[in-house]
Amino acid sequence: MAADIRLFPCLTDNFGYLIHNPATKATASIDAPEAGPIVKALEHEGWRLTDILITHHHGDHVGGVAELKQKYGARVVGPHDKTTKIANVDHRVGQGDVVKVGGLLARVLETPGHTLDHISYVFDLEKALFAADTLFSIGCGRVFEGTYPMMWDSLLKLRALPDDFKLYCGHEYTAANVKFALTVEPENAALKARAEEVARLRAANKPTVPTLLGDEKKANVFLRADEPSVAAGVRMKGRSAAEVFGELRERKNKS
Ligand code: ZN
Ligand code: FE
């Protein structure tokens, strides 16, 4: 089943995403950082918003929900409310649930760590992963509410998806992520190739997403915390992957 996916900037460094099914004309927004750019993208395409799929409660992901819901009468899907109240949610989902967007199917993965309520949406037939603030290109989200082992488990869930799936993440943070990753794995050929690609894209003012999950597995140090080269890069040879991951995250926080 073919779907059209559009991405565009929102707020300072968020991505807005629309996924559209031409057969049923259903259109979902993945998160809603702010209403303006989402309305503009919908009008540009001639699409009508039917669903909003929320990943977590942070303001830069839900700020536009109320306005969009009012304007389009869209159904709002969000995570089971474990820690916070997200307003305007019509349908709450958790691990393994399948959300229907017209003829499209999105599988829900619970990916806590950045927040306790964070979920990711996987469109298996379209080979598309919307991971918001859990997994970035060459990076991952800050661990605000969960623990490092919890976030590492969430990253393993995403890493288990096939190499030919595309990653659509929540923010344009790739250039800063590459800079940090090179301090850990300076000799990683896939990372060096990605660094060049990102420099080229940013110089042309183009987004660095989507990326292939297979490429992220080779170049994203946060997905590689169980690789000896990454453990060595933070002087933690022989330590558990979750410990190495925690050290990576703390170093990135300070970078
Ligand atoms: Zn967030
Ligand atoms: Fe965010």
Q: For the segment 163-203, what is each residue's pLDDT rounded down to a tens digit?
A: 999 999 999 999 999 999 999 999 999 999 999 999 999 99
Considering every ligand atom shown, identify the ligand nearest to the alpha carbon of residue 14 and give its number: 2
Contact status, residue 243 vs residue 230, Cβ threshold 8 Å: no
**Interval 59-86 mean pLDDT:** 93
In one letter, which amino acid is 111? T
Gap from CA of 143 to ligand 1 centroid (Å): 10
Gap from CA of 82 to ligand 1 centroid (Å): 16
Gap from CA of 245 to ligand 2 centroid (Å): 20
Cα radius of gyration rounded to whole Å, the chain: 18
Considering every ligand atom shown, identify the ligand nearest to the alpha carbon of residue 60 and give its number: 2
Is residue 203 classed exposed, middle or buried when 0-12, 13-18 and 19+ CB atoms within 10 A define those classes?
A: exposed
Gap from CA of 29 to ligand 2 centroid (Å): 15
User: Which CATH superfamily hosts domain 4-254?
Assistant: Ribonuclease Z/Hydroxyacylglutathione hydrolase-like (3.60.15.10)
**Interval 11-16 mean pLDDT:** 98
Structure tokens at 68: 């969009």
Q: How do the domains of the chain map onto residue ranges?
A: 4-254
Residue-wise pLDDT tens digits, 77-133: 999 977 778 999 999 999 999 999 999 999 999 999 999 999 999 999 999 999 999
- Tell me the average pLDDT of the chain: 97
Considering every ligand atom shown, identify the ligand nearest to the alpha carbon of residue 32 and give its number: 2
Alpha-carbon span 169 to 129, nearest angstrom = 8
> Residue 1 pLDDT more than 90?
no
Please report the pLDDT score of residue 185 as a whole number: 98
Q: How far apart are the first and last CA of the chain?
A: 42
Considering every ligand atom shown, identify the ligand nearest to the alpha carbon of residue 118 and give its number: 1
Alpha-carbon span 218 to 205, nearest angstrom = 25
Ramachandran region, residue 200 (left: φ > 0; alpha: ψ -120 to 50; beta: rest): alpha
Residue-wise pLDDT tens digits, 201-223: 999 999 999 999 999 999 999 99
- Residue 243 has a CB neighbour count (10 Å cut-off) of 17
pTM value is: 0.97
Alpha-carbon span 93 to 117, nearest angstrom = 10
Residue-wise pLDDT tens digits, 128-152: 999 999 999 999 999 999 999 999 9
- Residue 64's pLDDT band (boundaries 50, 70, 90)? very high
Gap from CA of 62 to ligand 2 centroid (Å): 10
Q: HEC states along the chain?
A: CCCEEEEEEECCCEEEEEEECCCCCCEEEECCCCHHHHHHHHHHHCCCCCEEECCCCCHHHHCCHHHHHHHHCCEEEEECCCCCCCCCCCEEECCCCEEEECCEEEEEEECCCCCCCCEEEEECCCCEEEEECCEECCEECCCCCCCHHHHHHHHHHHHCCCCCCEEEECECCHHHHHHHHHHHCCCCHHHHHHHHHHHHHHHCCCCCCCEEHHHHHHHCHHHCCCCHHHHHHCCCCCCCHHHHHHHHHHHHHHC
- Residue 10's pLDDT band (boundaries 50, 70, 90)? very high
**Interval 8-20 mean pLDDT:** 98
Gap from CA of 134 to ligand 2 centroid (Å): 9
Structure tokens at 146: 């969960």
Gap from CA of 60 to ligand 1 centroid (Å): 7
Structure tokens at 79: 């995570």
**Interval 241-249 mean pLDDT:** 98
Alpha-carbon span 161 to 214, nearest angstrom = 9
The catalytic residue positions are 56, 58, 60-61, 114, 133, 171
